[in-house]
């Protein structure tokens, strides 16, 4: 009799849980169960705070947590760090990820720091320094996207096989949360990742991104505007470019922004970048504007090595005579477009941004206001070249050119035929003499670096001949000055 009663109680308890789950899902989001990751310290917020997207782009925390263990064969090494994501001591998530809560379940989203925090070693045995606002030259975002595409289609991605991994990872889920994960979170995440992976299948036709690079606008076409992925022209797929720095933004407002100068509004540029990670209707404007206000006046990090003052003085004269008009704040051409016929660099990024895309972008944020201001895009346009950008903090921007095809500033001052054809990207060891990161090491301490080949589509290292005719002595003097600007 006791056994029968226990079975009945178990059955009734199961029915009650299922009914609770149905009620929970039918009434929709519960505001008191929703949180958005936010931090008092602005740099901490930049690295770990949410910019929105929890309800549409968030991955359930425990699903995200166990993916590297459950699908270790699909990563180049151990965990998300094998893709270059940076892990600070004592932190649960890598830099660039935020943990918030939707309907009581924790979810993981990405933020600006994914592409705009990098790491630097000043000597082979030193610990890496994590530097906010510099390009994330070590993060392989393309590899992360591909990892999510691969796991989504794996038959082992199912609740029955994933739940034991979640429980073994320390998840202390209550009965309702277990039901949510088993019947909602896991299957819905798999479906969402499969849909996203299918819309990003154009990546199979592209050169590998490698660390520090991303295709900024092609995903817009298929994810935001439903452009037919199979009908994208080959020329549209060659826009893979380096992450830019984001310091000192106030001085840049009004300049032609993005590599091809397709927008002159810092606010629109910021919202455009955020839409790589969130939907227009779920962007957190308060967080985006808070980060913007900080970035307006954040200075670039100072060069950490000694500078030869006498040599730098000689270099300053060379810079003012040969470079300042295009690259100094207040220069006559700084922040303007240099026609592709003049600059002669790889045109892939320029061609990938089409008039059709620009026209579609004007529909983004239509009807959405924040603090009484219309958020609709109005500044995007197609250009015929690349923007002349200020060079503040140029020592931290390696590799160089918009596609990161030239490893160091010294190499950039050489004729294209003398620049490296192949080199390795992703190393954080700084090389002061050439002004750039180490590029001649294929692997180190079990970590493999990315082989960059300038002969592949979108990877060309030609053009930008300015300074290539200088003498070797003048080039060294110029570099010495550039280290400190």
Per-residue pLDDT tens over the stretch 373-394? 999 999 999 999 999 999 999 9
Q: Report residue 407's pLDDT band, with 50, 70 and 90 as the boundaries.
A: very high
Q: What was the pLDDT predicted at 17?
A: 54
- Region 53-67 average pLDDT: 96
Q: Report residue 18's pLDDT band, with 50, 70 and 90 as the boundaries.
A: low
Per-residue pLDDT tens over the stretch 427-452? 999 999 999 999 999 999 889 999 99
Q: What was the pLDDT predicted at 200?
A: 97
Q: Report residue 26's pLDDT band, with 50, 70 and 90 as the boundaries.
A: very low
Is residue 62's pLDDT more than 90? yes
- What string of H, E and C letters represents the secondary structure of the chain? CHHHHHHHHHHHHHHHHHHHHHHHHHCCCCHHHCECCCCCCHHHHHHHCCCECHHHHCEEHHHHHHHHHHCHHHCCCCCHHHHCCCCCCCCCCCCCEEEEEECCEEEEEECCHHHHEEEEECCCCCCCEEEECCCCCCCCHHHHHHHHHHHHCCCCCCHHHHHHHHHHCCCCCCHHHHHHHHHHHHHHHHHHHHHHHHHCHHHHHCCCCCCCEEECCHHHHHHHCCCCHHHCCHHHHCCEEECCCCCCCHHHCCCCECCCCCECCHHHHHHHHHCCCCCHHHECHHHHHHHHHHHCCCCCCCCCCCCCHHHHHHHHHHHHHHCHHHHCCCCCCCCCEEEHHHHCCCCHHHHHCCHHHHHHHCCCCCCCEECCEECCCCCCCCCCEEECCCCCCHHHCCCECCCCCECEHHHHCCCHHHCCCEEEECCCEEECCCCEECCCCCEECCEECEEEECCCCCCCCCCCCCCCCCCHHHHHHHHHHHCCC
- Region 439-468 average pLDDT: 95
Q: What was the pLDDT predicted at 126?
A: 95
Mean pLDDT of the chain: 93
Is residue 358's pLDDT more than 70? yes
Is residue 27's pLDDT more than 50? no
Q: 64 vs 17, which has greater pLDDT?
A: 64
Per-residue pLDDT tens over the stretch 166-202? 999 999 999 999 999 999 999 999 999 999 999 999 9
- Contact predicate 480/312, CB 8 Å: yes
Per-residue pLDDT tens over the stretch 195-247? 999 999 999 999 999 999 999 999 989 999 999 999 999 999 999 999 999 99
Q: What was the pLDDT predicted at 266?
A: 96
Q: 24 vs 253, which has greater pLDDT?
A: 253
Q: Report residue 329's pLDDT band, with 50, 70 and 90 as the boundaries.
A: very high
Q: What was the pLDDT predicted at 341?
A: 97
Per-residue pLDDT tens over the stretch 248-293? 999 999 999 999 999 999 999 999 999 888 888 899 999 999 999 9
């Amino acid at each position: 009799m006791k056994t029968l009663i226990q079975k009945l109680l178990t059955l009734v308890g199961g029915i009650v849980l299922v009914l609770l789950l149905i009620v929970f899902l039918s009434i929709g989001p519960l505001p008191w169960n929703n949180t958005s990751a936010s931090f008092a310290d602005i740099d901490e917020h930049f690295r770990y705070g949410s910019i929105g997207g929890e309800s549409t782009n968030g991955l359930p925390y425990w699903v995200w947590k166990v993916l590297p263990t459950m699908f270790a064969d699909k990563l180049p090494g151990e965990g998300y760090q094998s893709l270059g994501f940076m892990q600070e001591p004592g932190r649960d998530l890598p830099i660039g990820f935020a943990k918030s809560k939707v309907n009581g379940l924790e979810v993981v989203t990405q933020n600006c720091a994914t592409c705009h925090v990098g790491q630097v070693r000043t000597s082979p045995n030193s610990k890496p320094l994590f530097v906010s606002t510099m390009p994330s030259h070590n993060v392989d975002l393309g590899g992360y996207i591909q990892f999510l595409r691969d796991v989504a289609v794996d038959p082992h991605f199912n609740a029955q096989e994933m739940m034991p991994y979640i429980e073994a990872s320390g998840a202390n889920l209550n009965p309702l949360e277990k039901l949510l994960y088993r019947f909602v979170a896991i299957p819905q995440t798999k479906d969402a990742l499969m849909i996203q992976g299918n819309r990003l299948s154009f990546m199979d036709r592209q050169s590998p991104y490698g660390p520090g690079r991303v295709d900024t606008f092609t995903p817009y076409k298929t994810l935001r505007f439903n452009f037919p992925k199979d009908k994208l022209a080959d020329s549209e797929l060659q826009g893979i470019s380096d992450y830019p720095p984001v310091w000192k933004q106030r001085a840049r407002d009004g300049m032609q922004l993005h590599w091809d100068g397709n927008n002159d509004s810092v606010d629109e540029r910021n919202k455009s970048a955020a839409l790589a990670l969130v939907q227009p209707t779920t962007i957190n404007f308060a967080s985006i504007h808070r980060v913007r206000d900080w970035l307006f006046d954040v200075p670039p990090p100072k060069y950490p090595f000694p500078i030869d003052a006498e040599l730098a003085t000689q270099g300053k004269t060379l810079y003012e005579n040969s470079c300042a008009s295009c690259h100094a704040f207040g220069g006559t051409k700084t922040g303007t477009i240099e026609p592709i016929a003049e600059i002669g660099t790889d045109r892939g990024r320029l061609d990938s941004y089409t008039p059709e895309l620009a026209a579609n972008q004007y529909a983004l944020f239509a009807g959405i206001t924040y603090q009484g201001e219309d958020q609709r895009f109005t500044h995007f346009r197609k250009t015929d070249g690349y923007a002349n950008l200020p060079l503040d903090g140029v020592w931290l921007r390696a590799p160089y050119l918009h596609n990161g095809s030239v490893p160091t500033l010294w190499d950039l001052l050489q004729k294209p035929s003398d620049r490296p054809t192949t080199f390795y990207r992703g190393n954080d060891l700084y090389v002061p003499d050439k002004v750039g990161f180490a590029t001649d090491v294929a692997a180190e301490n079990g970590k493999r670096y990315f082989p960059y080949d300038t002969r592949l589509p979108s990877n060309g290292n030609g053009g930008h001949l300015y300074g290539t005719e200088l003498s070797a002595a003048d080039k060294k003097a110029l570099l010495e000055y550039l280290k400190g600007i």
